[in-house]
Chain A
Amino acid sequence: MKLHELTIHEASDLLKKREISSQELTRAVLDRIESVEKKVDAYITIAGETAVKQAELADREISRGNISPLTGIPVSVKDLICTKGLRTTCASKILENFTPQYDAFVIKKLKKAGAVIVGKTNMDEFAMGSSTENSGMKTTRNPWDLTCIPGGSSGGSAAAVAADMCLGSLGSDTGGSIRQPASHCGVVGMKPTYGRVSRFGLVAFASSLDQIGPLAKDVLDCALLMNAIAGYDPADSTSVPEDVPDYTSFSNKGLSGMTIGIPKEYNETKGLDPEVSGAVKNAVKVIEDLGAKCVEITLPHTKYAVAAYYVIAPSEASSNLARYDGVKYGFRDKEKNSLIDMYRSTRTKGFGAEVQRRIILGTYSLSSGYYDAYYKKASQVRTLIMEDFKNAFKSCDLILSPVAPTPAFKIGEKIDDPLTMYLSDIFTLSANLAGIPGISVPCGFSSAGLPIGLQLIGRHFEEKKILTAAYNFEQATDFHKQKPEI
């Protein structure tokens, strides 16, 4: 076994037994990045030097017997989570030279746990996209087929994990941006409950929907990362002061006693690929064999989730992105001599097309005369979507669905048609609108060899139940053990 191919828990066991050092492990990962980055383009910034230093520190701690499950583990971080002294661009020209002066809450937690940060991963600009093609920096390719998109917006993180260019990663999920790329790249990705992980230091896209979460090679690693990043943070006023359980203490004794709801509406979804629905149907059989009871449920308003989301998210974004004015940080067009001209030119040159499109859409929905028709209406539908889930969870513990309607599509295929791109988020968005947690776990491959993910969604703060089901499913299958040939 090559070191970069290890999972976090496998590497941690070897580190604990002193069979390997963090420096060896980190160098192996950096070598791996060096050899495949040209093909995958997962990283915006590679932090080789600081990573090696962090690995040295980790080795010193380990030699003193101080080892946590992440001590000495090389991980990557999506490039919209602030890392002190390490460039954080949001894949935008407007933040191309931005160096944060502080660490995000989750970065502080990772560093405290002794993790080694090897680099910052590519993404759709400001996390707006489903393919990572909206990056202002580069186009990441799917490690399973380099002509396909890795998903998005955390496409760099998912590709890096799938291609063994890190052992795990942190991404962010506003409408599916962790789960969908995880599904497309054949890795595990979790969006926690809104408020479970602090957003302090996460560059804001849509504040009522954004949530940081892990991407990992298997469910146990996902749980280990959740243990490290979850928790209350007074610096985020939407962070919830609720106890954090040990997410890794799940049983592997099957799923008897658990009821899984399958929304009848999802089978009626237009554009659902038969290979995806086939893989999900097989997953249902596995889950039933594990002892869970599967029942049909109904989520009558989910068909409005895309429409509600594409009012709410751009509205919040248009407000959040008003801060990029060329004054406090980031790019400024210095040619302009009046303040307003400078704002206009800076923002027009600094933001890419999708970001401008969403700012205009959001500004329009919030503008005088349209607010009630769009933003208020969408927020009311959001309430109905939340009530659907509340009702559904009366008769089941978890809800099962596909993650994305199709496997990864070709680079360039949907980029000129934003609405079609938006519809690829149809299964993931409603969890963000309701603030509930969800996971993507590998459940099959298409005939073209592209990974397919299974989504499990739970009640607020029931990540552990999701992880338990995902773990048992994973242990009964071997999709997570497959590796792409790059």
Chain B
Amino acid sequence: MKITKDEVVYTADLARLDLSENSINRFADQIGDILEYVDTLNSVDTEGITPTSHAIFLSNAFREDEVKESMGADKALANAPEKEDGNFIVPKVINL
């Protein structure tokens, strides 16, 4: 098994996902198959090869530091599931 059920649960927790027992079993099998396939990469000699994260040559994209109009609170909050007085509402974070 390339990935254990415990590792699936641990990784899901890092990604803030709650998996049912059924999903854990399925994902362990399916992700295991995928990782096994991904292991074919180990047959490639990559010693000294620079990794690529960006396919096009571009140096830093700088711009002038000019003040421009921004979206504004009303628009930024327009899709908020819960809001009040120009703020996003979240469940209580610190319990005193």
Q: List residues of B (41-56) whose CB comes within 8 Å of A's CBs.
A: 41-42, 44, 46, 49-56
Residues of chain A from 178 to 216 with CB closer than 8 A to chain B in the complex: 193-195, 208
Distance between Cα atoms of A378 and B38 in the complex (Å): 9
How far is A419 from B11 in the complex, measured between Cα atoms in Å?
20
Of B17, B63, B80, most A-chain CB atoms within 10 Å: B17
Q: Which residues of A contact B12 (CB under 8 A)?
A: 356, 360
- Quote the shortest CB–CB distance from B90 to chain A (angstroms): 6
A435 touches B55 (CB 8 A): yes
Residues of chain A contacted by B17 (CB below 8 angstroms): 344, 347-348, 351, 356, 359-360
Cβ-based interface call for A422 (8 A): yes
CA–CA, A310 to B34, complex, Å? 8
Chain B: interface residue count, which band? 35 or more
Main secondary structure of the interface of B (DSSP, over half): loop
- Tally of contacts, chain A with chain B, CB under 8 A: 169
Tell me if A364 is interfacial: C-beta within 8 Å of chain B.
Answer: yes
B78 vs chain A, min Cβ distance (A): 6
B85 at the interface (CB under 8 A from A): no
A484: interface (CB < 8 Å): no
Chain B 14-30 per-residue mask, 1 if CB under 8 angstroms from chain A, else 0: 11111100010001001
Q: Are A101 and B31 in contact (CB under 8 A)?
A: no
| CB-based contact B56/A364 at 8 Å | no
A384, CB-defined interface residue at 8 Å: yes
For chain A, residues 356 to 415, give those with C-beta under 8 angstroms from any C-beta of chain B: 356-357, 359-361, 363-364, 367, 374, 376-384, 386
| 14 residue pairs from A and B, CB less than 8 Å apart | A310-B38, A325-B16, A329-B81, A360-B27, A364-B35, A377-B42, A377-B46, A379-B53, A380-B50, A380-B51, A384-B46, A386-B52, A418-B33, A433-B55
B residues with CB within 8 A of A: 3, 7-8, 11-12, 14-19, 23, 27, 30-31, 33-35, 37-42, 44, 46, 49-56, 58, 61, 63, 71, 75-76, 78-82, 88, 90-93
